[in-house]
Structure 1
């Protein structure tokens, strides 16, 4: 699983990145400050998790200091369970048909008290957004873990995180074995992309006003409706992202492009000015290449160009 995280801190002052060996001491300090984490995950080897886990991430603040840590693996943190055959155990114990290719288990996590309200929610959202194949994230606490320790993070109250108990007869009386699972749809809902209609004018205008209120001042309150209904011949199309019958995002597409202005503003020569080259232009470009003139087109190899440039 390859997931890239930016190291630059965003406008909110928080950003996730991959954990590295240099973060070990800071993470150990975070985990040792609160006995809650040891009761939920036991004693963990932070260095080992950073090295061999499927994904370990850190939340950093504006000073690039580590303020949160979470480690995910593709097998449950249950002693005695074969990491390569946990799917069979999961089906027999809980009757859940999870797969290792789309499921991650939380093996450790911790954060400062200042970010406790949103750390776990943002961590899950970050992982889901950066891995399209991931469908569920599972937290499997030990059987004797008090429920109030799990409910410490508000995400368990705000989102639809399910609690599943073991289906075996000897576990039904006490609910001894259980786990929590959150699905992608609960954290990152799937949007429906469609063409905008005139009834979407209000929602679209409100979204655009957050970035630029001048559009409403220039064109009025119904300029989106006019573009959609009164000018169907224009090469401009508006699409929206629909979530629960409400517009959550908007994009305006236009096939009329001022290539000359873009070429004067940006350096687009490597991309042929964003235009498709004609056979004549391709031939002219080929003849301008000094390497081709010196060594011949048939003897020219791309590997030579790379070596020559280096």
Structure 2
């Protein structure tokens, strides 16, 4: 938890939280103490509401007491339309400055009762919250290039230069709104790098010699492990590594500062007794039940597929039978049609024969 020393030798415990636009009146008195060359012509309400993140350091025991404020955004106040400004500022940086890994400090003030500027705590909070941010950039308006001694004599600039490193300078020409005259301004761009506030961790396999660095960390939290397994419980655990259990540490500047032991052998009963997994599969039986449900569902889908396949086969067979029956009916109709033709011919022959017989009878009567 961050702390700060104030005038009188008192140390205050601080907490970090978001600054709300309704609290701007609490920092206006600090704003008037900072020189306008840092933040001239700004609207505090506007930059707070449009900011990506606004961080405040407050008294742990008094939520209304604000000691420092920092406001961040993805673009600077003075150059809101310069899309390639980051490329110019961080041309030689590695990795390169981009909109994804960089953020601008657009505003910072602190209570003058602080004997040491808390800007470092604000930057540390920024990098902790935004894990993807590598650079914090800010611009400072200067009338000319200042020497190191001149910067040290300026309280505000001295605070900035202790935590930021100058990386780029640029001259601009602006038209004054009151006089319409062109005025030349000299800007200095400074950057704060994540590694200076939050050390980059190196993850590696644990070694027995890491015991001396790690034991104080464990003993500070609890003495149960030491009383249960002995003074060298950690060294014995590291030495017992095999294919089913591994130990890893996080290292900073050659010193182990964090430890993790991972095993593939899981006691489901212990996990069930010690942890609550109401929304997950709580134990091994649930996993088995899920597998059984999946198997039953697979069987059900297979049965449905078989039924559909049988229905398709039945429809095909019925269709073939229908076609065959239609062909037989057409043949029978054709045979009946031929029989009708034969009957008509026979009837015609009978008519002809009767006519001839009648004519013969008439001739006999005449004779």
Q: Normalising by structure 1, report the TM-score.
A: 0.70
Instruction: State the structure with more CA Rg.
Output: 2
Alpha-carbon distance in structure 2 between the residues aligned to 1:114 and 1:234:
58
Q: Secondary structure at the match of 1:40?
A: coil
Distance change >3 Å, CA 208–CA 164, structure 1 → 2:
same
Alignment partner, residue 163 of structure 1: 166
Kept in 2: contact 1:76–1:86 (CA 8 A)? no
> Structure 1 residue 249: deviation in Å?
1.4
Provide Cα deviations, 1:15-41, integer angstroms capped at 9, x if missing partner: 222222211211223323x234x3422
Equivalent residue, structure 1, for 2:208: 198
1:55-134 residue pairs with structure 2 within 5 A?
Answer: 55-62=53-60, 63-65=62-64, 66-78=66-78, 82-87=81-86, 90=89, 98-115=97-114, 117=116, 119-134=118-133
Report deviation, 1:14: 2.4
Shift of 1:195: 1.3
1:270 is paired with a residue whose SS is coil
Aligned partners of 2:89 and 2:168 also within 8 Å: no
Higher relative contact order (CA 8 A, sep 6+): 1
What TM-score do you get using the length of structure 2 for normalisation? Answer: 0.60
Question: In structure 1, what is the Cα distance between the partners aligned to 2:269 and 2:119?
Answer: 48
Q: How many residues align?
A: 260
Check the 8 A contact 1:40/1:149 in 2, yes or no. Answer: no
Contact 1:70/1:108, CA 8 A, preserved across alignment: yes
| Aligned twin of 1:187 | 197
Which stretches in structure 1 are left out of the alignment for 5+ residues?
1-11, 169-175, 288-310
- Partners of 1:270 and 1:279 lie apart in 2 by 16
| In 2: Cα distance, 1:128 partner to 1:187 partner | 8
Deviation at 1:191, TM superposition (A): 0.7
Contact 1:27 1:46 (C-alpha < 8 Å) held by counterparts: no
Unaligned runs of 5+ in 2: 1-11, 172-185, 297-367
**Match in the other structure for 1:293:** none
Secondary structure, in 3 states, of the residue corresponding to 1:84? Answer: coil
Q: Deviations over 1:174-230 (max 9, x none)?
A: xx542221111222221111110111111111221221245445544432222222x
- Could you give the per-residue CA deviations for residues 144-198 of structure 1, whole angstroms, max 9, x where no partner exists? 3862334543x854x6x42224388xxxxxxx54222111122222111111011
Q: Secondary structure at the match of 1:78?
A: coil
- Tell me, in whole angstroms, the C-alpha distance in 1 between the residues paired with 2:246 and 2:228: 20
SS in 1 for 2:262: strand
Structure (1 or 2) with the greater strand fraction: 2
Query: Superposition RMSD on alpha carbons, in Å?
Result: 3.4
Which structure has the highest helix share of the two? 2
Partners of 1:140 and 1:178 within 8 A in 2: yes
